[in-house]
A and B are shown apart, each in its own frame.
Chain A
Amino acid sequence: MDTSRIGLQAPPLEVEIERGRLRLFCKAIGEAGAIHTDRAAARAAGYRDIVAPPTFAFCLDTDRADGFSMVRELGLPLGRLLHGGQSMAHRAALCAGDRVVLHSRLTDVHDKKGGALRLFVIASQVHNAADGRCVVEMERTLIVRQP
């Protein structure tokens, strides 16, 4: 098994969280809560603007419109790719208008089930672009069924 790519880092990606994209995301997941959809309600609750649902942070990577950076970089085959697991830790809310920087790194590659499955573990951090504070940490495990 080739583990030489462990440590691979995606180029940092700066993203401005757009209100329209957040609204569409809320529609797609059926999130109708006022702080997620109504700017006035979000401000009344003490937020800068409408608040991102927690899993929105996972989608920051696709802001560049050519898919998930590590999937592309590693050339993972979409027809044999499964999402095995995901963890998320939230230090502060993400809101429309926020500018953030996403950092991602391949931290592990290993096989399971006698080599039938190859697992790729990718750790990501989201930092506030203004002050550098880490606001979200994530880890995803991708599984590729081996031919």
Chain B
Amino acid sequence: MNGTDMSLQPLASQPLGTEVARLRLTPVSRTTLALYAGASGDHNPMHIDIDFARSAGAKDVFAHGMLVMAYLGRLLTDHFGVAALRDWNARFVAITPVGAELVCTAVLAELVPGDGVARLDLAVRDAAGQTKLEGSARIAL
């Protein structure tokens, strides 16, 4: 478990704009990409075979978008619980290269008591602050 910030404050008691969860990952390694390819069943060689990636015009292999989204999933379910995650979405904004040091964040964007949910703005950024993924989630209050 590297760095989930466990806040005990209920979502509904926090001001909008508060960062309610953060997860810092160890740098993305080739081993991680190989493990994720095997475990996910996504064997696309663009993620694990540098020769293939170069033949397709890329400089190197890069991370599966769904690996990065899985890190966001960890942030949400480790922090709020599996049952609280209603729905979420992600846009893959930029490619995540080997070595990227990713940080996942969730910011309280809206409380919708009528639906019993809080809406969070989600982001994954690298150490330089470049956004790799952005999205939103609805979490049961």
Contact = CB atoms under 8 A, between A and B. Distances in A.
Is the A/B pair a real complex?
yes
Interface of A: 21, 24-25, 27-33, 35, 51, 53-55, 58-59, 61-63, 65, 67-68, 78-90, 93
A84 B91 contact: yes
Given A31-B74, A79-B46, A85 B56 contact: no
A25 B36 CA distance: 7
A93 B77 CA distance: 11
A24 B88 contact: no
A59 B89 contact: no
B44 A30 contact: no
Mostly, the A contact residues are mixed
B87 interface: yes
Given A53-B73, A59-B42, A83-B65, A88 B36 contact: no
A86 B90 contact: yes
Given A79-B46, A85-B92, A86-B66, A33 B39 contact: no
B40 A28 contact: yes
A135 to B, nearest CB: 12
Nearest to B78: A33
Contacts, number: 115
**In which size bucket is the chain B interface?**
35 or more
15 contacts: A29-B74, A30-B26, A30-B71, A32-B1, A33-B78, A54-B88, A67-B41, A78-B44, A78-B45, A79-B56, A84-B92, A86-B69, A86-B89, A88-B88, A90-B87
Nearest to A52: B82
